[in-house]
Chain A
């Protein structure tokens, strides 16, 4: 391709051009004014004047010829292929993703003359896409839950370099953004950001026969013991007749069957119905709630019939039940510490009188005593407590025995338990071989229930490194006060950690635990086999730290019991979403100072107790650590990780098959058409790709030459001659 054009001499500024033109016009005007009433051969004067003006202008501007040689290249076309996990939904015997990739391939071929760039979009970022590679991986892990076309178009608009002449979007139309309710004006605004028509290729227009949980909304924050409303939208698509759809919300717990929180029925009048369930989560921390529907017959996508939601349940106040078998200085110290903490809602019951005591009263009205509401506390109100502290209370004498199974279930269900020592605690209180023993971190052996000898407990290696005791060790290092007597505790259970041990007494093959922590099901428990921690609050020993050691110890114990992250040696999180069937990773962040081997045990939430995965990493390098969990099935999981000898840290998470991406399986061809229309593009089906208009190629200059029409002296000579002729003509007319 060669093009020729006229131009001015190189280096002549535009201002000069305007000045010459202005001067020429002024001269012409003056000449016309002179000749307005003249008769005779004024035509020669005018003609010679015009010629002189033109030649003078040419002498100044020196016109040149510009020759351009160039090439024609194809227009830039960007093909955006939806990379959301939603496209793994089945369609026409394949997946929508496969249809989309094949359509993208067809688009590339259709625009063979253009420069086609294939990109994938999901959460907004754009990634290069190779169709053959993508087809080879049926369900790649990099697919996203979102389908953000708005974000992708904005990212494209902000890219430097050549703008595309056309954009082709390949999707089913169920975008996260732009939403279904976005108006045409905002769609036009979105299209204007890229400045090119957006053509659409709809991979499918056929909605599957599917009942699904379309969305779950919560109102307000999830706070322990407070009702939380779940607004659940159920959808029925593809002509499936749903009628009434039962909906159930269950909490997934470790070691036990899922606990039914609420249930209801969605009555379908059209394609959707909404049901509101009120649930109350009793335990704080990360809680998994499974919401499921019972779909009608003919449902073709079972994966979106249940969702597993993760709630981070907070506490308004920590609600503790403190039950003591008799008032002592130890009870006093604990009560005063608990009462001093404004964040604790304390319910306390102390046994102040037994049937054997002689109060020297004629009637009970002389006493300020109330009956111990043991049945009410351990049946009706038990779930409302975050933790229970049993301090030196005889389970037999005070009729606790019959409630121990419920108390054990309470712990397995996520409650906290601290058993504080004394003559009537542990085996001395009738807890040996009771259901509660199984949730304590230690076994309760036979023999004498307690020993009366003074002793100073010894820190174990775990005790020295455990964040739960850091407050205490910062005050007194390894030093502890002398305790008077100790309960007889058995060996620590598997997965339990001993923090203090007896220097002389033995339990099994090792030293007897004095302070031990353990997990049971969803809950945690602590065994403290002494009744003298008040010596950390009030004693000559305590005086050295002004009594602060007591608060340091109990802050740690109660904090650990309630899974306060400050008292965990590790922080666990998923490195990306957990999609059933795809490899998942867990990221472990160790606290400074937490060293040693890292071990991980992964258990499925529910009645099964066998771990699905156990791993140990020997002395890993400092810094975050990522552990491969492999491909997990749908469900809730509990990861328990431990670094060195420190107590384990637990992290619950869910794996879903479809997750939010599959919640609405219907394609949205209407939204696709509106986007195309707003940008003056076209919307076609995958079979009509060949109907998409191909943008014109772009001409690109390759060589340019600049040749003056005449040399400058020739223009000057011609202008001089023309001015001379004009002078002669004017003389003849008497105009000088």
Chain B
């Protein structure tokens, strides 16, 4: 009888271990895809081998404002996203990206390239979720796969299609933000949200999810 009890205990142990490992494995981060492609896009095109043959001379006029074309809507059919895009900058208090307070809206980094840009990274960031608002526009961003389509609509109504080439997850302490906020390199769209393990004490996610897309 004691023997049987011991076997039952072992069986329960196996069951508990199995359940725990299934959860552990299932909740691991999705593997990065296309990381090398994303890095290649950030490499600046080689400068022309010969510089201009004469000294460039320009009028010393006061600078005019930049005329970036802002995206106003973003749609990603693969994860059922259709969201309004706000032009945002930097949070003066923290120096961080000023993600719109509403989790349904997405922020476009207005200091970086707009949809007209021939070089650099157009950055759009949105909430994965909010403590009081629930799931955010980018809740399923980490499900995007290579080849999925992202459509950005400009103020003039023109639509630009992009094709996902990479999805990466970085610890926030390690993410190479300079690369994703670069104004040189190939034209690309960079979508950022939070992900990875959540610390309930600080109410912060450990990681950022970054999706890179190129003009389709």
Q: Are A and B subunits of one complex?
A: no
Question: Which residues of A line the B interface, CB within 8 A?
Answer: none
Question: Which residues of B line the A interface, CB within 8 A?
Answer: none
